[in-house]
Structure 1
Amino acid sequence: MATEGQFEYESVLCVKPEINVYRIPPRASNRAIRAADWKLDAPDWTGRMRVTARGKVAYVKLEDKISGELFAQAPVEEYPGIAVETVGDSSRYFVLRIQDDNGHSAFIGIGFADRGDAFDFNVALQDHFKWVKQEDEFTKQAQAPDSTPKLDLGFKEGQTITLKIGQTKKKERSRPQSSGGLGLLPPPPGGKLAPPPSSRSTNHTTQPSAGGSDTGCLLDLDSSNSNSVAPTNSTTTANTDLWGDFDSVSPK
């Protein structure tokens, strides 16, 4: 809302080309006003209606159809309210409180020939005061102090912060273990293992130690395999040339 000394623009809310004005009797009681009590077939004045708004106040202006001269106007500060009232027996008629420049006021009856015009007049006033209500709420929110607590994100005296950049822990890979619990090397590529040397070849290639303890161990291995390996005639047979048997055989 503009303050005193500031220019306020006047906007047009609604214009209706025909409106009838009636003199109404004084209100005798608080009962609802009835348009049937008026002389509806003989209106006291006929003209056009123009509804405008200046700031938060709406103005219902009754003007001459041809010249546009102002016949009367009613300032409306709230709706529904005392400035514009509906009647109890029709939606096309209203009671309007008009005022002059000296502050004198009077109540008159107005009526529309078409129900659609009466509907537009009603909606124009409702929309304007919905806007006024929203503006009041926005103003209250802007003027109300912010009561929400504010977070203090500043560092206190002596407070430090530590940043860890690029330091990650690597997971240690567990080495494969055999079923016996002894650490063994993985198999070579291809999945083939070299066959273990036989006990007999071990006897020929392994040199006995001076103490003789290793020789006894190898003899024990030979004796343990006596059931699966065919016995030889003598130790000298193993040392002879294997091709000698073929040489001793005479051809037939």
Structure 2
Amino acid sequence: MSESKSVSTDPSRADFGAAVDDMRDSVAAFTYDGDRSTQDHLSGAPERRGLVLGDQDPRDAALAEKVLSEDLAWTGRIFNVDRLRVELPDGRSATRDVVRHPGAVAIVALTDEGRICLVRQYRTAIGRVTVEIPAGKLEPGEDPLECAGRELLEETGMRAEKIAFLTTIATSDGFCDELIHLYMATGLTFSQSSPDADEFINVDLVNVGELIDAVLDGRIEDAKTVVGALLCDAIARRLADESSK
């Protein structure tokens, strides 16, 4: 009768070595692709000109990267991470790790008394409470305008008589495709909030001028809130200029 042999499932030294090599390759791909000693191109020389938006300058075509392959690297509850292999303008290839996000909305909610609605929420990623304008993720196929009204009500309990589109921002387009659509909400009435099960929020109504001062002093770090506050300031100044004419 032959003796049965046990098979070890513990990782071997070779397994550890392969894992370390893979981690090194991933770090190298994320930080820089290829040998910098072969880099021989320069940025375009500065030109004194009017504003030309992206992809509207004929020279922009020479900056484009061609996607050669795209693989799903990680799947999460809110976003996914894809790893892309691209061809650079000079023909070399590079790796791009891209966070795929469904998009979001943020709401500049103003009361008739000139106060802005802000939410206080603990953000685990940076380990502290932040002060932000209300915001939330788009559901698949959801209209951003409808999402704005829904998120405002859920997070703050406020209903808006009017909601108007302000702008769209790319939050960190170096590695993420998230777009946040900003809206202004007015004619507010308080109903009842209904935050998500894992959301714990306090709500403040703050003078708009105080928020703008905090942004200009560097005391507000949330990007969508910075943009929203500066938009409020810019709109107010334009309206004041027009009324004075």
- State the TM-score, normalizing by the size of structure 1: 0.20
Structure number with the bigger relative contact order (C-alpha 8 A, sep ≥ 6) is 2
Largest Rg, 1 or 2: 1
- Larger proportion of strand: 2
